[in-house]
Amino acid sequence: MSISKPIVSIIVPNYNHENFLRKRLDSIFNQTFKDFEVILLDDASTDGSSKILADYEEHPKVSYLLINEENSSSTFQQWNKGIRRALGEYIWIAESDDYSDKRFLETMMELFDREKDVDMVFCASWYVNEKNTILKPAPDMGESFIVLGLDVLQKYFSKYNLIRNASSCVFKRKLINPIYYEFAYFQYCGDWQFWTDLASRAWKIAYVSDKLNYFRIHKQNVSTEAEKQGLYFREGFRILDGILRREKITKENKDQIFRYWGLKLYEAIFSKKDIYLGIKLQILVQSLFIRNQIFRYTLWNHKTKIKLKNILWRKNN
């Protein structure tokens, strides 16, 4: 059904989430804020997802349904497709295995209306299991705040993905660079790259401490192989390089960022983290030749000296 100029475009990318899909969609259609369109995308699911999506195709809020004939192997490619179809001034990527409080959109849009220079808003979340049981609060930022986009890049996105769950965030469509879709080609950190790119163009970013999002934890969203491949570092360093090219990041902030990554790399190299040995060595060598400041903090800090001393002592005795 065609919907002209809704305020919010809600993109629902799905792959094999048959068991969670109705809960997700019902939580969207029951939002107290009603001016939105829904874009449904299925990445060639092998379960009963397509039948469920077909049940919602004629819903008056659904503007588009696409079921891929072949799997794209990337949820970020699906994000890309949805964004290209979006008509709204604001975009919400509502992951198909999560769900939301009925006041989620209302709360986000009230903040946008109140704070005109805010371009992105995200909220606190609950962790829930496969049976919708609340497990615990997801890691949060404490009190609500509004900060400059550049500050968020330096303090958070240069080190890790601040927006851990896409379902918790609404952003202005104007932040999207229509020719920039590098995030769609990441294997593991595409969401991190995506939010970093948006934050680089956002004037201000807001955080709402109300837990209005339910982030589902289940076996399908544990990416063990990606962790073994060291993709947090291999793709995370690419994101970091882009941030560090910004002239406004001070030398002091850069040093803090290098120190953080050095300690993270130290933990990955010398701990029992489940990363393939060859990948560990590859990341370390790349740091030596490409990111020397990180390499320096990896090998020349107090923890490393103690670790190396213990290793040498064991070998000699």
3 assigned to some structural domain: no
- The CATH number given to whatever domain includes residue 40 is 3.90.550.10
Domain count, the chain: 2
Structure-block tokens of residue 134:
């609340």
pLDDT of the residue at 313 = 45
CB neighbour class for 10 (10 Å; exposed up to 12, middle 13-18, buried from 19): buried
Indicate if 104 and 17 belong to the same structural domain.
yes
Indicate if 269 and 134 belong to the same structural domain.
no
Indicate if 127 and 21 belong to the same structural domain.
yes
Domain end marker among 202, 221, 240: 221
Indicate if 167 and 274 belong to the same structural domain.
no
136 assigned to some structural domain: yes
Indicate if 135 and 89 belong to the same structural domain.
yes
245 assigned to some structural domain: no
Indicate if 216 and 295 belong to the same structural domain.
no
pLDDT of the residue at 31 = 98
Nearest to 191, CA basis, from 211, 215, 208, 212: 215
DSSP 179: T
Indicate if 280 and 161 belong to the same structural domain.
no
Indicate if 164 and 282 belong to the same structural domain.
no
Query: Alpha-carbon distance 40 to 105, whole Å?
Result: 18
Indicate if 63 and 200 belong to the same structural domain.
yes
38 assigned to some structural domain: yes
237 assigned to some structural domain: no
Q: What range does the domain containing 260 cover?
A: 250-316
Indicate if 263 and 211 belong to the same structural domain.
no
Per-residue burial over 110-122, b if 16 or more Cβ lie within 10 Å, else e, is ebbeeeeebbbbb
Nearest to 8, CA basis, from 125, 98, 94: 94
157 assigned to some structural domain: yes
Indicate if 126 and 271 belong to the same structural domain.
no
278 assigned to some structural domain: yes
One pLDDT digit (tens) per residue for the chain, 317 residues: 444 689 999 999 999 999 999 999 999 999 999 999 999 999 999 999 999 999 999 999 999 999 999 998 888 889 989 999 999 999 999 999 999 999 999 999 999 999 999 999 999 999 999 999 999 999 999 999 999 999 999 999 999 999 999 999 999 999 998 766 677 778 888 899 999 999 999 999 999 999 999 999 987 654 567 778 888 999 999 999 989 887 688 888 888 899 889 888 888 887 766 788 888 888 888 887 778 888 888 877 655 555 545 544 443 33
Indicate if 129 and 173 belong to the same structural domain.
yes
